[in-house]
Amino acid sequence: MSLLVLIVIYSVLFAIWWFWWRPRVRSPAPYPGALPIIGHIHVAFKYRNDVWSYMERLFNCITNECVVIRMGFHNLYVVSDPDEVGVIANTSLKKSYHYSFVDNALANGLLLEDVPTWRIHRKLLNPAFNLHTLNTFQNIMNVEARSLVSQLKDKAGKGPVDVKELVVLYILRTVCRTSLGLEAKDQDMIDKEYAEAIEEIMDIAVKRALNIALHPSFIFKRTAKGKREQELIMRIKNILNSTIQKRKSDLKKVENKQNNNTDVSDGSANGKFKPILDLMLHLSDEQEVFSDDDIRQHLNTFVFASYDTTSGVLQTVLAVLGSRPDVQERVYKEIVEVFGDNEELTKYNLPKLVYLEAVIKEVLRLYSIVPWIARQIDTDMVFPKYTLRAGSTCVLVIYNLHRHPSWGPDAKEFKPERWLNPATLPTHPNVYAPFGIGKRNCIGKLYAMMTLKTSVAHIVRNFQLSADISNLCWNFEVVLKPSKPILVSFTLRP
C-alpha cells in the first residue's frame, strides 16, 4: 500500500514537472530564486507587506530581455521591450486573471469586459470622450476646482497638510458630476456612501490578491471579506440605480417639453453640457445596446478608474511642484499669462498651458500610477529570441518603458523641458504609456489631462506650494498609492 502511495506521489510530481517545469525550447530564462513546484510564491510571501519594493527591484534588473516569474502552476512573462510590448498589447486583448479580483464590482465595464463585448461598447462610448464633448465639461471642472481652492484656503499658512482626502473628494465630485449629471446639491450621497463603498471594495480586492488562499471564488465568497464585498456591491447598485432612474425621469421631462415646444433644444449641438450617462441612456433607448446593469457597471468603472488614478497623479504633481520652486515659478508665470483677468479657464486657453502640460507628462512618466499592465496570451507568440506560450500571462512593464534608453542618458531625471521640443523625444510610440498601450488603452486619457491641468492651474494661481518629493514611498494596491501621507504646505499668493 505504501509503495502504491509513493508511486502515485511520484507520478503526480513527474506530471507537474513535465507540463510546467521541464525545459522548453525557446523559453525565456526564469527570474532567479524559483523553488521547485512553488516557483516564486515564497518571494511573494516575503514581500507581501512591501510589494512595490520587490517589483521595483525586479524591474530594475530587467532591461529588454523577457524573464519568467513562476507562481505555482502559472507562468508570468515579464516583458519590457517596446516592440514586443506593442505586439502583445495589440494582439492579446484579454485582461489577465489578476484583474478578476475586482470582477464582481466592474464585470461589464470597459476595464474587464470580454473582448467581443468590449469592441462594441468601446466604439459606442468613444463619442463621450472626444474633445468636443469634453469641452462641455470645462465649466463644471472650473466650479469644482474653485471649490477645492476655497477648502485649501482654510489650510493655508498652517504648515504641511495631508492633501489626500481633499483631492480624492474633489476628483470624485468632478467625475460624478460629469459622468452622472448630478447637481451639486445631489452630490452628498455620492460623496459619502458611494465613495466609501468603492474604496472598501478596492481594499478587499488588494487583500484578496495578496492572499493566494482567497483566489478561488468558491472559497472567497464564503469568507467574511467575500460577504462584505457583496454587501458593498448591493449598496453601490442601489445608489446608482436611484441615480439612473432619476436621470431617466429628468430626460423624459425635457423630451416632453421639447415635443410641446419646437423652439426648445437640449443644446448638445452648440456645446451645452451633456453627461456620459445621457449618452448611455440614449443608446439604451434608441439602440437597446445597454441594460441598466451595463450602464451601472460602466459608471462604476469610470469613477473607479478616474478618481483612484487621477487623484494619485494630482497629489504627486503638487508634491513635485512643491519640491521644485524653479519649475513651480515657471508654471505660475504661464498660468497668470493664460488666465489674464479671467476667473476661469476656457476650452480656448486650456491648450495654451504648454509648460504645465509638460510637467504633468513628466510626472506621469517618472511616477506612473500604473507601473504595469497584464494580458492573457491566447496563442503562442514567437519573437526572435524566445516564444511566449499560450495560456500564460504577460506583464507589460510601463515602469521600464518610461526609462528606456531612447529617452537619453537623463531618462531617470525629472526634466519637463524634454516635452517642449518634440524633435528630441523618442520616436517609438510604446516608450510612453501612462494610459496603457495599444487598442485597449484608457478611454479617459483626454479627460484625465483636462482635469489635471484645470485643477493644478487653479491651485498654483492661488498658492505657493512647498513639499519634499524625496520622502515619497509607494505601496502597490490596485494602483500605486503613497505608503505615507503626501504633505504639502500652502501659502496664499499676494
CB 130, CB 437: distance < 8 Å: no
The contacts of residue 57 (CB under 8 Å, 6+ apart) are none
CA distance 385 to 404: 19
Segments in 389-444 forming alpha helices (H):
398-401
Distance from the Cα of residue 60 to its chain's centroid: 22
Nearest to 246 by CA among 302, 168, 174, 189: 189
Between the CA of residue 84 and those of 77, 353, 405, what are the distances in Å? 12, 34, 16
Between the CA of residue 129 and those of 134, 157, 180, what are the distances in Å? 6, 39, 14
Nearest to 45 by CA among 54, 57, 37: 54
Q: Which amino acid is at 143?
A: V
CA distance 259 to 284: 20
CA distance 218 to 231: 17
CA distance 408 to 412: 9
Count how many Cα atoms sit within 13 Å of the Cα of residue 431 in the half-sphere of its side chain.
14
Q: Which residues are annotated as a binding site?
A: 442
Segments in 367-444 forming alpha helices (H):
398-401
Q: Which amino acid is at 56?
A: E
C-alpha cell at 263: 423652439
CA distance 8 to 106: 42
Q: Which residues are annotated as a binding site for heme?
A: 442
Q: Which amino acid is at 141?
A: M
Q: List, as own/partner pairs, every contact residues 269-274 make where C-beta atoms lie below 8 angstroms and the sequence separation is at least 24, other chains included.
A: 271/132, 271/135, 271/136, 272/136, 273/136, 273/137, 273/139, 273/140, 273/181, 274/133, 274/136
